[in-house]
Chains A and B, each alone.
Chain A
C-alpha cells in the first residue's frame, strides 16, 4: 500500500510559482548587484552577491518545480520541497526584489496544501 495525495493545488502552485520565479531569480541577481554597487563595494563583491542571489532564486525554481510535480505521488516530500522553495525565494526578497513576492506566496500555499491535502491509500 502507498499513500497518495488527491489535491492538484501543490502541482498548480509549484509550477506557476516556478515559472514566475524564473525571471524573479534574474531580478534578484540584478537587485543584489545594484545594492552592493550602491554600498560602494569592489567589483568582485558586486559579482559575488549577484550570482549568489541569482543561484538562490534558481534553486528555489528547481525545488518548487519538482515539489509541485511530486504533489500527488509523494505528498510529504512535495511539501518539504515547496516550503524550502518558499524560504529560498523569501531570502531573495532582502534585495528588494519584489518580483519574488508572488512565488513566495504560491510556494507557501502549495507547501501547506501538500501536507494538509486529503490522502488515499493505493495498491502498488
Chain B
C-alpha cells in the first residue's frame, strides 16, 4: 500500500463511507444551487436535461481524474489498472479540468449556450468543491505537513481549501457576476500552487521532481489563462482602433 493511503481524519468514523457521503451532499448542493440560479432563465425548461448531462460529465471526469492520478505513482507500476485506480485514489484538480473539457464538448455537441451555462454553473462547482474538501477532512486524506502550532497537529491544508472554495461561492453569489470561470480557475490555481507546499500526502510525479503534479497543472492553467487574456485584450484593442 502506498503512502497516499495513510489517513489522518479529524473524526474517526471507522468504515462508514463518509467521503462518499460528503461527495453525494456536495453534488446535491451543486444541483440545488444551479436550479436556484437558473430560475427565470430563458432556457429553464431544459434545466433537468442539462443537469443530467452535467452530472454525466462530472462522473466521467471523476473517473478520468482517478485514471490520470493512477499513472502519477511509480510505486503502482506493474499493478492492473483497477488496482492502480483503487490505490491512487481520487484527485480533484485533474477531475475539475476534465469536467470543464467534457462539459464544453457536450454543450458544443448539444448546441447549448456555453458561456451562459458555465457562468451559472460556477457557484455550484465552488460550493461542491468546498463541501467535498470537508469530506477529505472527515475521511482523513489530503492532509498537511506536521506543524507545532497550539491545537494543531498538521497544517490545515484541506480546511483552508474548503474555506477558500466556500468564500469564492459566496462571492459568486453576491458580487462576482462576470468571468466566473476564469476567476475561479486563476485564483484556485494560484492558491493551490502554494497550498501544495504544505501538503504531506504522497503527491506522485508528472514531469519534474521539483514540483508536484498538481503544481505543474496549476502552472499550465495559469499560462493558458494568461495567454487567453492577452489574446482577448489585443483583439479588443484592435476592434476599438478599427
Chain A residues with CB under 8 Å of chain B are: 2, 4, 8, 11-12, 15-16, 18-20, 22-23, 66, 69-70, 72-74, 122-124
Chain A binder among B6-14, B24-32, B99-107, B229-237: B24-32
B179 on interface, CB distance cutoff 8 Å: no
Contact (Cβ within 8 A) A73 B24: no
Nearest A-chain residue to B24, judged by Cβ: A19
Contacts of B55 in A (CB 8 A): 69
Contact (Cβ within 8 A) A22 B20: yes
Q: Which 4 pairs across A and B sit closest by C-beta, in order of nearness?
A: A73-B48, A19-B24, A19-B20, A16-B24
Contacts of B49 in A (CB 8 A): 73
Contact (Cβ within 8 A) B31 A19: no
Q: Is the interface of B mostly helix, strand, loop or mixed?
A: helix
Q: How far is the CA of A22 from the CA of B17 in the complex (A)?
A: 9
Nearest A-chain residue to B49, judged by Cβ: A73
How many Å from the CB of A31 to the closest CB on chain B? 14
Contact (Cβ within 8 A) A72 B48: yes
Contact (Cβ within 8 A) B45 A18: no
Among A20, A70, A122, A124, point to the contact of B17 (Cβ < 8 A): A20
Q: How far is the CA of A122 from the CA of B46 in the complex (A)?
A: 12
If A8-B32, A69-B51 touch, does A15 touch B45 (CB 8 Å cutoff)? Answer: no
Q: How far is the CA of A80 from the CA of B17 in the complex (A)?
A: 27
Q: How far is the CA of A74 from the CA of B27 in the complex (A)?
A: 19
Contact (Cβ within 8 A) A15 B48: no
Contact (Cβ within 8 A) A19 B17: yes
B81 on interface, CB distance cutoff 8 Å: no
Nearest B-chain residue to A122, judged by Cβ: B45
Among B17, B28, B52, point to the contact of A15 (Cβ < 8 A): B28
How many Å from the CB of A85 to the closest CB on chain B? 14
Question: What is the size, in residues, of chain B's interface with A at 8 Å between Cβ atoms?
Answer: 16
If A19-B17, A22-B17 touch, does A70 touch B48 (CB 8 Å cutoff)? Answer: yes
Contact (Cβ within 8 A) B17 A11: no
Among A15, A23, A70, point to the contact of B27 (Cβ < 8 A): A15
Contacts of B25 in A (CB 8 A): 16
Contact (Cβ within 8 A) A20 B48: no
Contacts of A22 in B (CB 8 A): 17, 20
Further contacts, 13 of them, CB under 8 A, given A22-B20, A122-B45 = A4-B48, A11-B28, A12-B28, A15-B24, A15-B27, A19-B21, A20-B21, A23-B20, A70-B48, A70-B52, A73-B48, A74-B48, A124-B45
Among B24, B31, B48, point to the contact of A18 (Cβ < 8 A): B24
How many Å from the CB of A5 to the closest CB on chain B? 10
B185 on interface, CB distance cutoff 8 Å: no
Nearest B-chain residue to A71, judged by Cβ: B48
Nearest B-chain residue to A24, judged by Cβ: B17
How many Å from the CB of A79 to the closest CB on chain B? 15
Nearest B-chain residue to A5, judged by Cβ: B48
Q: How far is the CA of A73 from the CA of B44 in the complex (A)?
A: 12
Q: How far is the CA of A72 from the CA of B24 in the complex (A)?
A: 18
Nearest A-chain residue to B19, judged by Cβ: A19
How many Å from the CB of A114 to the closest CB on chain B? 13
Q: How far is the CA of A12 from the CA of B25 in the complex (A)?
A: 8
B23 on interface, CB distance cutoff 8 Å: yes
